[in-house]
Amino acid sequence: MSNDRTRLAKESFVKRPISVDDPCKKISDYYGDLIFDRRKMKEYLDPEIFKSFLECVDKGVALDMKTADGVAAGMKEWAMQHGVTHVTHWFQPLSEVTAEKHDCLIDYDGKGGVIEAFDGRALAQQEPDASSFPSGGIRATFEARGYTAWDPTSPVFIEEDTLCIPTVFISYTGEALDCKTPLKKALKAVSDAALPICRLFDPKVSKVISYLGWEQEYFLVDESLYAARTDLMITGRTLMGHNSSKNQQLGDHYFGAIPPRVAAFMRDLEIAGHKLGIPLKTRHNEAAPNQFELAPIFGDTNLANDQNQIVMNLMNKLARKHGFVVLFHEKPFAGVNGSGKHNNWSLGTDTGTMLLAPGKDPMGNLQFITFFVNVLAAVQRHNGLLKASIASATNAHRLGAHEAPPAIISAFLGNTMTSVLHKLLEVPSDTPIEIAGKEGRKIGLVEIPEIFIDNTDRNRTSPFAFIGNRFEFRAVGAPANCATAMTTLNAAVAEQLLLFKADLDKELAKGKTLQVAVMDTLKPIIARVIDVICFDGNGYTEEWKKEAERRGLDVEDSVPEMFRTFTSEGSVEMFTKTGVYSLKELEARNAVKWETYSKKIQIEASVYVRMAINHILPAAIEYKNSLLETVSKTKEVFGSLDSCKTEVDLTREISALIEDIKAQSDRLKGKANEAEALADEYEKASAYQKVAKACDELRKPLDRLEELVDNRLWPLPKYRELLFIS
Ligand code: ADP
Ligand code: MG
């Protein structure tokens, strides 16, 4: 094992041979080695430069060129000690995967040679010719250039020989062309909106931080089998494939012993992640065979999201070294669980108070209830929008598919918080909210347990569940950039906090105490949320769909329709009021979303038809021919077909399936062509939704053939081969 570890570690980190296999080397010895964090800045930067850099990051002071040059000089020195030869601005365009364009550090020295050059200008801003990224029309005109600009709140990191600088990506006219810019705006909006409320409870608070702890689910498949599946390679999921007889029925994979080959990959990944300062903490087998999960310790939402993007890239790269391919698709295999990326989310102050966890005294509890209820109100008002924020062509396979949240956003509170909310409506507003069960405390009318760890029940069917100190937004898809969901959630909460504060001020102006004013403002909100957004039952049932509709929740299950919510009156008002998106940006993003949706289905339809005609039909016809040969020989020898009834029946069924597949493939092509001809992106996406349904229909005869055709002739690795790593 130790040799193996040495080999793997060395292979992965050629540039920096590490000795983490050395039993004396602790994680804390190499943690963060490859990021230019504050500790390194202190060491490599001039103290004055370091001071003005901190003012930029902590107090929002604009970055001047002298500081940028000073930081760049220290960064270059540090990077070159690590064998860095290239630099890139690293950004997150609307394609939802990261982008990078490497520049070598060299420049002419004026004496016929070259020097390593990197200055503040190169660090702070670049203008990549990134015209091919989706922009939803914002960059349609030739003068509409795009810029990347350094995000100093996320540390620069080294990837192999390249210094990667996290950046935002914006157009010449200032519109965001990426996922990071609106996220940063939403984080500022929620901090600004929460701050005056927190200060009523603690005047020392100067900043509110939004936290994200993501849990990344994924599948691993053997790289050689992957290469034999055109559908996996091109679409990221299996478009056909019959269930394996055994899949996850026995529940023996979930939390099971991690297969050694997978464990080696995970170890490699953790080492690489820890060196990049990513606090990877948890790893385990998930419910489906070959499905796994990893999660870091939560952190500031912007940084945590960058880290998730870095980890996904690392996973893609390192899996190959272990002979695997990672699948991030939400539903790579029919009939077993799909993959999500649960977004654990909370708010906290810079004084260390977690705002979605019970407090240490009745006023702390009042502050907790204030934020808790306002989050529920925001989720209620924007439930359709939150659903739109996680919707995509691929996540549509998972939502409502019986192992993931339904396509209705509701909030799970658990028994304790549900009864606390009911109680709060009954008692007078000046009733203190006591801590339950703590020695020496008086027994109160309303009590909250100090810690919830053993107290919160879980509900896997809920898309937005409260778990003691945070909400878990479970509907986010595994391949998604968390930014879209986190931008929407934080912005919606910011809007609600602004509304709440305005009402609270009116109550305070009447001379009420803080406790009474807060409760008088909260009570009507509690009454509203309890009966609408809060639902602790089974979200998978048909009854819930009806009940949710009755409650006025958004039950739309068509993805192209869901996107329209982004430009509804309420959404536009919320996003513009909080300064997160302009109408132009929202419209552009919708155009991109519809376009991406259409393209994904267009690609799948094309792969379906080609695989049906080129892979499956030839195998079926070959088998049919061999059956026919048997039938005709039987007739020749025995003069009757009595002894080959099975062959005759099989031939008939296979012939009918072949006809069906050909006819369906032709129809599918026709439907896709019609959809493609539409000019309007929304209409095109709606037409492609019908194409997706036609694809599902075509799958049925293909999967049936897999059951009938001679196993030796079947041209594709089957689920039972793909899904089990020994
Ligand atoms: P689960 O039991 O839900 O699978 P995991 O341990 O896999 O839990 O992941 C939980 C995630 O929630 C981790 O990333 C953890 O750091 C994060 N988390 C814990 N507390 C908070 C919090 N207050 N705010 C945001 N995220 C949190
Ligand atoms: Mg987990």
Q: Look over the chain and give the mean of its residue pLDDT values, rounded to a whole number.
A: 91
Residue nearest to atom 1 of ligand 1 (CA): 215
**Nearest to residue 331, comparing CAs of 241, 252, 435?**
241
298 lines ligand 1 (CB under 6 A): yes
Q: Which of 284, 298, 303, 472 to mutate to test the pocket of ligand 1 (most atoms within 8 A of CB)?
A: 298
Structure tokens at 588: 């552009």
| Alpha carbon of 494 to ligand 2 centroid (Å) | 27
Structure tokens at 467: 């778990």
| Alpha carbon of 488 to ligand 1 centroid (Å) | 20
502 lines ligand 1 (CB under 6 A): no
Residues 527, 421 contacting (CB under 8 angstroms): no
Show the CA angle centred on residue 426, arms to residues 423 and 428, nearest 5°. Answer: 110
Ligand approaching nearest to the C-alpha of 282: 1
344 lines ligand 1 (CB under 6 A): yes
| Alpha carbon of 293 to ligand 1 centroid (Å) | 13
pLDDT at 404: 64
Res. 130: pLDDT tops 70:
no
Structure tokens at 711: 């196993």
Q: Which atom of ligand 1 is nearest to the CA of 284?
A: 7
Share above pLDDT 70 across residues of the chain, in percent, rounded to a whole number = 93
Q: Are strands 299-300 and 291-296 parallel, antiparallel or unpaired?
A: unpaired
469 lines ligand 1 (CB under 6 A): yes
pLDDT at 229: 96
| CA-based torsion, 118, 121, 123, 127: positive or negative | negative
| Alpha carbon of 298 to ligand 1 centroid (Å) | 6
Ligand approaching nearest to the C-alpha of 285: 2
616: Cβ contacts below 8 Å, ≥ 6 apart: 240, 661, 702, 705, 715
d(C-alpha 552, C-alpha 188), whole Å:
31
d(C-alpha 559, C-alpha 393), whole Å:
7
- Read off the pLDDT of residues 530-540 as tens digits, 9 standing for 90 and up: 999 999 888 88
| Alpha carbon of 344 to ligand 2 centroid (Å) | 10
How far is CA 606 from its chain centroid? 27
pLDDT at 139: 67
| Alpha carbon of 350 to ligand 2 centroid (Å) | 27
Q: How much is the average pLDDT of 296-304? A: 98
- Read off the pLDDT of residues 313-345 as tens digits, 9 standing for 90 and up: 999 999 999 999 999 999 999 999 999 999 999
pLDDT at 172: 83
370 lines ligand 1 (CB under 6 A): no
451 lines ligand 1 (CB under 6 A): no
| Alpha carbon of 163 to ligand 1 centroid (Å) | 30
| Alpha carbon of 303 to ligand 1 centroid (Å) | 15
What is the pLDDT confidence band of residue 10, given thresholds at 50, 70 and 90? very low
286 lines ligand 1 (CB under 6 A): no
Least confident among 80-84, 147-151, 436-440: 436-440
What is the pLDDT confidence band of residue 250, given thresholds at 50, 70 and 90? confident
354 lines ligand 1 (CB under 6 A): yes
Residues 435, 368 contacting (CB under 8 angstroms): no
Provide the 10 A C-beta neighbour count for residue 2: 9
Least confident among 372-381, 407-416, 449-458, 609-618: 449-458
| Alpha carbon of 12 to ligand 2 centroid (Å) | 27
d(C-alpha 73, C-alpha 217), whole Å:
39
How far is CA 723 from its chain centroid? 23
470 lines ligand 1 (CB under 6 A): yes
Provide the 10 A C-beta neighbour count for residue 484: 23
Q: Which atom of ligand 1 is nearest to the CA of 295?
A: 14
Beta partners for residue 106, in sequence order: 116
Global pTM reads: 0.94
Share above pLDDT 90 across residues of the chain, in percent, rounded to a whole number = 77
353 lines ligand 1 (CB under 6 A): no
314: Cβ contacts below 8 Å, ≥ 6 apart: 269, 272, 273, 276
Q: How much is the average pLDDT of 354-359? A: 96
d(C-alpha 389, C-alpha 537), whole Å:
24
Q: Which atom of ligand 1 is nearest to the CA of 357?
A: 23
168 lines ligand 1 (CB under 6 A): no
Beta partners for residue 411, in sequence order: 464, 534
236 lines ligand 1 (CB under 6 A): no
End-to-end CA gap in the chain: 17
pLDDT at 141: 56
Res. 247: pLDDT tops 50:
yes
Q: Which atom of ligand 1 is nearest to the CA of 458?
A: 3
d(C-alpha 622, C-alpha 474), whole Å:
46
Ligand approaching nearest to the C-alpha of 467: 1
Ligand approaching nearest to the C-alpha of 280: 1
| Alpha carbon of 297 to ligand 1 centroid (Å) | 7
Res. 297: pLDDT tops 80:
yes
d(C-alpha 273, C-alpha 295), whole Å:
11
Res. 16: pLDDT tops 60:
no
| Alpha carbon of 187 to ligand 1 centroid (Å) | 19
Least confident among 90-99, 445-454, 636-645: 445-454
Res. 160: pLDDT tops 80:
yes
d(C-alpha 672, C-alpha 398), whole Å:
23
pLDDT greater at residue 355 or residue 109: 355
Long-range contacts (CB closer than 8 Å, 24 or more residues apart) made by 618-622: 618/715, 619/705, 619/709, 619/713, 619/714, 619/715, 620/654, 620/657, 620/658, 620/661, 620/705, 620/709, 621/658, 622/713
pLDDT at 607: 98
Per-residue exposure over 267-288, b if at least 16 CB sit within 10 Å of its own CB, e if not: bbbbbbbbbbbbbbeebebbbb
Q: How much is the average pLDDT of 497-519? A: 98
What is the pLDDT confidence band of residue 132, given thresholds at 50, 70 and 90? confident
pLDDT at 452: 66
Res. 239: pLDDT tops 60:
yes
Coil, strand or helix at 360: coil
211 lines ligand 1 (CB under 6 A): yes
Radius of gyration of the chain (CA): 29
d(C-alpha 478, C-alpha 217), whole Å:
6
411: enclosing H helix or E strand: strand 411-412
Q: DSSP label at 570?
A: H
Res. 546: pLDDT tops 50:
yes
Q: Which atom of ligand 1 is nearest to the CA of 348?
A: 23
- Read off the pLDDT of residues 558-594 as tens digits, 9 standing for 90 and up: 999 999 999 999 999 999 999 999 999 999 999 999 9
pLDDT greater at residue 206 or residue 2: 206
Show the CA angle centred on residue 142, arms to residues 138 and 146, nearest 5°. Answer: 55
| Alpha carbon of 213 to ligand 1 centroid (Å) | 5
| Alpha carbon of 459 to ligand 2 centroid (Å) | 13
- Read off the pLDDT of residues 585-633 as tens digits, 9 standing for 90 and up: 999 999 999 999 999 999 999 999 999 999 999 999 999 999 999 999 9
Q: Which atom of ligand 1 is nearest to the CA of 214?
A: 14
Q: How much is the average pLDDT of 109-134? A: 86
Residues 90, 164 contacting (CB under 8 angstroms): yes
How many residues are present in the chain?
726
- Read off the pLDDT of residues 421-473 as tens digits, 9 standing for 90 and up: 999 999 999 999 988 866 666 677 888 887 765 555 667 778 999 999 999 99
Residue nearest to atom 17 of ligand 1 (CA): 213
Half-sphere exposure at residue 185, Cβ-oriented, CA atoms within 13 angstroms: 22
Task: Read off the amino acid at residue 316.
Answer: N
